[in-house]
Structure 1
């Protein structure tokens, strides 16, 4: 069995599409990061389709993001952090799991629990989910998961759920190879499709992401140190905040880049940030199905990216609508950026193809696939 055969079985033409109770259970309801953004995007989409949605977090986040008003309830189980591992932790988990059970028992028949992060699954596993469909998700590549403690937790806690979802067919097949025969895949939906794309006239390379080791901004600065001398009239504009901000700014200064790197902080206007750029750079060490990359392509901004995950290869067609470099090869990434920065015609052509091609991940298509999966798993 492969993810492709699983997907074919799940696509049931004319399947019933009842409105359901859908629970999203994550580590936190408002922590910074792509999983939270994805959860609330899907919650809004499902709510708009008539589903009754509830977003649940295990703990409050230490650095919350502003959610604004949301058209569905949210619940956080703990008021603070849970006890350290041990008997007190186990007792608290059982107690908090009863809150999940109460929420689940109040659901209508056909309800679905979508666990977006495997740590949260430890609480869901202790709740009563009888009669509910439980879907566990991994929002990172198989390779990035395997290099972390999450790999064994996915195998342990997701092995008996109704479906374990990776973000790409390639990753799903790798999980199946690990004995996860319930594995399939579901790509992320396009976060937005703006009417007005970037004009690609500003001499600006844009990066958007947390200032965290995973996002590889240190490698992007090393890359920029190679590119900047050849393009003294260009700027690297970095959007994001995080725990590595101070050390990254020190690296920037040490590389002599302060005059051509702009630290923009967090932004709530991603389209506006991208509209001000002509090239997008993704320097991550690991990704799942990166939303920032999709957002850039929707804005018609061609990308130069590290080939750090199957999701990147699925989104970007190398040489057609963007350019890829080997993971961690800053010299190669510098050459890819140089190619795009040096050729306005190439930027325009790749940007237009990126904007057209990324529409294969429209919200309509992805929500339809989710609803087909719900119907299939209920049978």
Structure 2
């Protein structure tokens, strides 16, 4: 194995969320295998997560606060507009810090650009002699509905590799004329000491209380499911901007006695071991870590089939159940099916524990190293 200098360049070094957790985990895995790893963030995190006392990688942040977007030039001045020129000069100065990092690296370094916004600075830096791997941590369909779609096509077209999360998403990017596409799944984020005994009458949901995560849809589904299985609790772990609205919806649906707003948790394995079913009701996803975590705890999952990454992880009617996106009646029916059948919960939970091992961290890390070796030929 070749020991390399590896740079992650991201919007933030330690933003709380799936991408930040994936980045910190992979950086640690690669560092533990002897690579020299640096995470460079463009701006400070809005919601920082703890990277631990002594992470095995360096961290650098280019700006003291989040930089403003590029101003629209006044019509007659164009690129000569002083505001535009100041903005571009600040970007080049920040990119010079990346250049210094890259120039100090050993030959064969890998630059992994975690998010496409960060690629705007990498594109201004001198990356001579190193390989660039661009990433999109969302489904093709989610990207297509956002401004990131055009930026992925613009900024990643000349990268040595563009990585999607699944083969299905990679094929969609190829259909857009991107000829440098591959895919790489996320590694299993946790290896619990013990699985859930699946004895508690608890359905768990873990995620930000936001529109994208679809907790409003979950409450509608729970209003159908809960009366059919009295004694069960829906436990919602997370905080977010929609919390007040969701609490009001919960009260209006008459669910206060069966829904527990449990707040943010620092013990995801503990939360999952205290549940017997996991539910995800997102409107859009990439390759959701929390589904991997639930399955690693032997908890069968019910989820909206909202992205290729979801159906790549959960095998419908084998280790979990998938509902059509947004179909709350179908989601409720799947929940009732698992809540009412202990034998089915145990069978699917045991199968989930077995099937999720294909995303075991060492196996995914080796795939990364094989990609590095391939690109360095």
**TM category, shorter:** over 0.9
Aligned 8 A contact 1:284 1:306 in 2: yes
SS where residue 272 of structure 1 aligns? helix
What corresponds to 1:78 in structure 2?
63
Q: 2:368 — aligned with what?
A: 370
Matches of 2:111 and 2:247, distance apart in 1: 42
Q: Is residue 302–residue 354 contact of structure 1 (8 Å, CA) maintained in 2?
A: yes
Q: Is the 8 A contact 1:208 1:239 kept in 2?
A: yes
- Note the C-alpha offset of 1:195: 3.0
Counterpart for residue 23 of structure 1:
7
Q: Secondary structure at the match of 1:215?
A: coil
Alignment of 1:1-379 (within 5 A): 17-69=1-53, 70-86=55-71, 87=84, 88-379=86-377
Measured after TM superposition, the shift of residue 232 of structure 1 is 2.0
Contact 1:21/1:108 (<8 A) preserved: yes
Structure 1, unaligned runs of 5 or more: 1-16
In the TM superposition, what is the alpha-carbon distance from 1:192 to its structure 2 partner? 1.6
Report Cα offsets for 1:97-152 as digits up to 9, x if no partner: 00111111111111001011111111111111111110000011001110111111
- The aligned residue for residue 77 of structure 2 is none
Between the aligned partners of 2:205 and 2:372, the Cα distance in structure 1 is 36
CA distance in 2 between partners of 1:342 and 1:356 (Å): 23
1:261: Cα distance to partner? 0.9
Q: Quick one: distance in 2 between partners of 1:249 and 1:118?
A: 35
Are 1:83 and 1:92, in contact at CA under 8 Å, matched by a contact in 2? Answer: no
- CA separation in 1, counterparts of 2:201 and 2:223? 16
Any gaps of 5 or more consecutive residues in structure 2?
72-83
In the alignment, the residues of structure 1 paired with residue 334 and residue 68 of structure 2 have an alpha-carbon distance, to the nearest angstrom, of 48
Q: What is the Cα-based RMSD across aligned positions, in Å? A: 0.9
Structure 2: distance between partners of 1:334 and 1:197: 25
**2: CA distance, partners of 1:251 / 1:65:** 29
In the superposition, the TM-score normalised over structure 2's length comes to 0.95
Are the aligned partners of 2:14 and 2:24 in contact in 1 as well (CA < 8 Å)?
Answer: no
| 2:212/2:284 contact within 8 Å kept | yes
Superposed displacement of residue 63, structure 1 = 2.0
The answer for the alignment partner of 1:14 in structure 2 is none
Structure 1-normalised TM-score?
0.94
Residues in 1 aligned to 2:190 and 2:47: alpha-carbon distance in whole angstroms: 25
SS at match of 1:54: strand
Cα drift, residue 374 of structure 1:
0.2
Query: How many angstroms apart in 1 are the aligned matches of 2:69 and 2:308?
Result: 35
Q: Secondary structure at 2:212's aligned position in 1?
A: helix
Structure 2: distance between partners of 1:68 and 1:253: 39
Deviates more, 1:113-122 or 1:84-93: 84-93
Highest relative contact order (Cα 8 Å, sep 6+), 1 or 2?
1
- Range with greater deviation from structure 2 (61-70 or 363-372): 61-70
Runs of 4+ in 1 over 3 A off after TM superposition: none
Question: In the TM superposition, what whole-angstrom CA distance separates every residue of 1:198-225 from its partner, at most 9, and x where no partner exists?
Answer: 0000000000111121111111111111
Q: Distance in 1 between matches of 2:295 and 2:217?
A: 22
What is the alpha-carbon distance in structure 1 between the residues aligned to residue 49 and residue 292 of structure 2?
21
The DSSP-based 3-state class of the residue aligned with 2:7 is strand
Q: Deviations over 1:166-201 (max 9, x none)?
A: 000000000001011101100000112223100000
SS at match of 2:101: helix
* Pairwise CA distance, 1:342: 0.4
The verdict on how the C-alpha distance between 1:84 and 1:138 changes in structure 2, with shifts beyond 3 A counting, is closer
Distance 1:337 1:256 in 2: 18
